[in-house]
Each structure stands twice: as C-alpha cells, then as structure tokens.
Amino acid sequence: MASRPELILASASPRRLALLNQIGIEPEHLVPADVDETPEKGELPRKLAARLADEKALSAQHKARTAGFAQNALVLSGDTVVAVGRRILPKAETMEEASECLQLLSGRSHRVFTSVTVLTPGNQMRRRLVETRIRFKRLSTREIEAYLASAEWRGKAGGYAIQGIAGAFVLKLVGSYSAVVGLPLHETVSLLAGEGYPVHFNWLNLANLSSV
C-alpha cells in the first residue's frame, strides 16, 4: 500500500489553517510562500488570483525541497482577490487603504475570487477558482471609523474580514463563504481527494475520537 502523502500548506494564514482544521485536515508542514502579489498590467482579478495561487505553490515546494524535506508531499495554496468591476482592491496595510476600500464597497456589490491550487510531487497543478458575489450595506461614517479602529482589516483583501466584525456589513452573499474567508472547502476537499490525500480517513479518526 502506498504511504500516506504529506501535505504542505503554502501559507502562514491562520484563517486557512483553521479552515483546514475545520474539515479534519492538519498539514504536516506550514511553508509560507514568498511571491510578489503586485498585479500585472491589465491583469483581471480572476487571472491574478489563479496566478498567485500557482506561484505560491511553486514557491513553497521549492523552499521545502531546498530545505531537504517533504520531497513527495502535496502542496496546497490559495489566494483571494477582492474586486469592484475590474478594479482590484489591495490587501490593506494602512488605515488609508482600508478606508478607501470600505468607502468603495459601501452600499454596493463586489466580487471575491479565490483560487486554490494543489501541486503534486510530479509538478502537476490542479486548480479551482471560486467566484463569490457580496453586497454590503451602506456604511455610515461612524461604522467605517469604528471598523478602522478595530484593526481587523489589516492585511485583508479588500480591507475587511467577513468572519469577523465585517460580517455585519453583508446584506447578501452568493457563492462560497469559506472561499471569502480564504479557502473554498468543497473545492479543496475535491482536489486533495483526487490526488490521493486521505481526507475521509481523517474524518473517521475524528468520529472515533468523539466517541471516546
């Protein structure tokens, strides 16, 4: 019987790790990827998400192999891009960026593109891209100022975290909630199971533990 493949998560995001843990998956290795996330000239949001997810997987695989471990591991990566039309919103690092994002999103619809990539030991790439449509309520100046003060927006695509306070801003969501958080769970399970990762075996282990 073939040995159980190891899994590398190409991210330092606690959100993505928590989502994997939610479905019974604990990666053997966390290898944050080093990639330039600047959009290319004229690059569309969905293309950016797919490209960055692929590049993160390749970066993490290279780092792992250079360090001499996980030669035969699957690499899982993801990237999330928030956009209004063709305009790509930044992963807000300053209060000014976050404020601009929130004012733009206030009272209107936007799209969240999340791409997930699985890179095999033989360098085959499997990818799924999920598009989710979200509509925000109209935000008052007080709400924006209070949200900025929370600092929850820092490092988040579009300047907000739907799993936190900003969940109260959402009037409508069509698509995958987990994808907006950072990893589409249905697609992730499909990709991993398709490459021989024992997702369901892990579920059986969880069931056994819960019965003890």
Catalytically active residues are 79
Which 3 state secondary structure label does DSSP give 168? Answer: helix
Pinpoint the alpha helices (H) of 87-198. 95-105, 141-150, 177-181, 185-194
- Specify whether the CB–CB gap between 138 and 107 falls below 8 A: yes
What is each CA distance from 129 to 4, 52, 54, 179, in whole angstroms? 26, 12, 11, 9
Count the Cβ atoms, other than its own, within 10 Å of residue 4.
11
